[in-house]
Amino acid sequence: MKRILISNDDGIHAPGIKALAEGLSALGEVSIMAPLTEQSATSHSLTLYRPLRVKEMGPRTYAVEGTPTDCVLLAVREFLPERPDLVVSGVNQGPNMGEDVIYSGTVAAAMEGAILGVPSIAVSLASWEVFDFAPAAAIARAVAEAMLSAGPPARFLVNINVPPLPLDQIRGMRVTRLGTRVYNDAIVKKTDPRGRAYYWIGGAKPSWEPGADTDFAAVEEGYVSLTPLLLDITAPAGFDFLRGLDIRIP
């Protein structure tokens, strides 16, 4: 019997996590540990300065007043009676592609799984307007099943983005690299009723640089995007650059 830990960043009450749990229940014993409230864009943050409380919400279903990373760490290291064979995070409402994976709580939960040595998957529905999570959950199940039977990959996680289409309209699967986001008008400045300025991050619709092998291109063309992500973000090109600089101890 395989053990699967599910988490997310949209919170325990999000429809995407329910669809995911239903989709994966046929593969093994599913446990859910997810944030009590929405934690989108919390990245890989860890709660260190206040207590973490766990609330039982149903059979093998727990909410934590914390971040996605807190949930996976707590579940794997302390709370679950046995180590999971797979961590699956999602299904997120909205894409997690390109540099956005750096901010993503959905990806962070899967990354925490990978750090803990558990094969991990992040899955996102690439739309904020489509609320049918069943196709993305079915795809997560197919990928999870293949990964469970293939054995653990070496310290990387799989980031899945699913186009907002019915299953019979999805054109296939593509293994992709992270694309590059173009940020336009990302910060909005306004004035509050007391005449003071405030700022709002995120406004315009994102666009991205073209690149046929990217996650953005795959989803745009109706394919499921599967991006393998490393934990090691060391830049190979940076070695020569740094060694070529004449920097000395002052």
Q: Name the site residues for Mn ion (rule: CB under 5 A).
A: 9-10, 40, 92
Closest CA to 88 of 124, 53, 55, 58: 124
CB of 8 to Mn ion, least distance (A): 7
Q: Name which of 7 and 92 has its Cβ closer to Mn ion.
A: 92
Residue labelled with tokens 């590059």: 180
Phi and psi at residue 101, to the nearest 5°: -65, -25
Between 9 and 70, CB nearer to Mn ion: 9
**Closest to Mn ion by CB, 127 or 152:** 127
Helix (H) or strand (E) holding 138: helix 134-150
At closest approach, how far in Å is the CB of 41 from Mn ion? 7
Task: Tell me whether the omega of the peptide bond preceding residue 123 falls within 30 degrees of 0, making it cis.
Answer: no
Using CB atoms, what's the residue nearest to Mn ion?
A: 40
Is 7 or 40 the residue whose CB approaches Mn ion more closely? 40
Q: Whole-number minimum distance, CB 150 to Mn ion, in Å?
A: 28
CB of 192 to Mn ion, least distance (A): 27
Cβ of residue 120: shortest distance to Mn ion, in angstroms?
16
> Residue 21 and residue 141: Cα distance in Å, rounded?
10
Nearer to Mn ion, 27 or 120 (CB): 120
Closer residue to Mn ion, CB minimum distance, 31 or 40 = 40
Tally the C-alpha atoms within 13 A of residue 211's C-alpha that lie toward its C-beta.
Answer: 16
Tokens of 19: 């669809």
CB of 110: closest distance to Mn ion in angstroms? 13
- Looking at the Cβ atoms of 94 and 135, the one nearer to Mn ion is 94
CA distance readout (Å), 217 to 102, 104, 129, 222, 230? 19, 19, 19, 9, 21
Q: List, in sequence order, every residue forming a beta bridge with 5; answer none if it has no partner.
A: 31, 87
Count Cα neighbours of 8 within 13 Å in the Cβ-side half-sphere.
Answer: 28
Report the nearest approach of Mn ion to the CB of residue 104 (Å): 7
> CA–CA separation, 4 vs 25, rounded Å?
9
Could you say which DSSP state residue 32 is in?
Answer: E
Calculate the CA 135 to chain-centre distance: 17
**Which contiguous run of DSSP H or E holds residue 240?**
helix 236-244
